[in-house]
């Protein structure tokens, strides 16, 4: 399971990074915004994505003890979305000891 999750989140990280760079090189976010904002489904999807990011961040805030780390991850998740989320998951998975199961990433580590 750990290997599967590492491959999954690495693929999401790479795919989203490539898609974001390719799209940014084609059209800037600011130039695309007027037509995007005119589409009600696009705005609904944007709200859905950011509420999902916020939901994930609540778990990150539980996991991270340092205020600076909570702040940093909030900025990264809200700014980079699934790129930051997949990076956070990879960091958590890489931090597991060999004998720890994948579900151990769900809980805060003891001090």
Query: What pLDDT digit, counting tens, does each position of 46-67 carry?
Result: 999 999 999 999 999 999 999 9
| DSSP state, residue 100 | S
Asked if 65 and 108 touch (Cβ cutoff 8 Å), the reply is yes
| DSSP state, residue 96 | S
**For the chain, the helix, strand and coil percentages under 3-state DSSP, each to the nearest 5:** 80, 0, 20
pTM for this prediction: 0.91
* Residue pLDDT, tens place only, 81-94: 999 999 999 999 99
d(CA 8, CA 48): 22
Paired tokens of 71: 């702040």
């Amino acid at each position: 399971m750990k290997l599967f999750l590492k491959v999954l989140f690495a693929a999401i990280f790479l795919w989203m990074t490539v898609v974001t760079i390719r799209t940014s090189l084609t059209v800037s976010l600011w130039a695309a915004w007027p037509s995007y904002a005119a589409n009600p489904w696009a705005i609904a999807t944007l709200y859905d994505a950011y509420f999902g990011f916020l939901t994930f961040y609540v778990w990150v805030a539980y996991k991270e003890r340092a205020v600076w780390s909570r702040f940093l991850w909030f900025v990264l998740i809200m700014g980079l979305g699934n790129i930051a989320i997949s990076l956070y998951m990879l960091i958590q998975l890489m931090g597991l000891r060999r004998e720890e199961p994948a579900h151990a990433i769900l809980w805060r580590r003891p001090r």
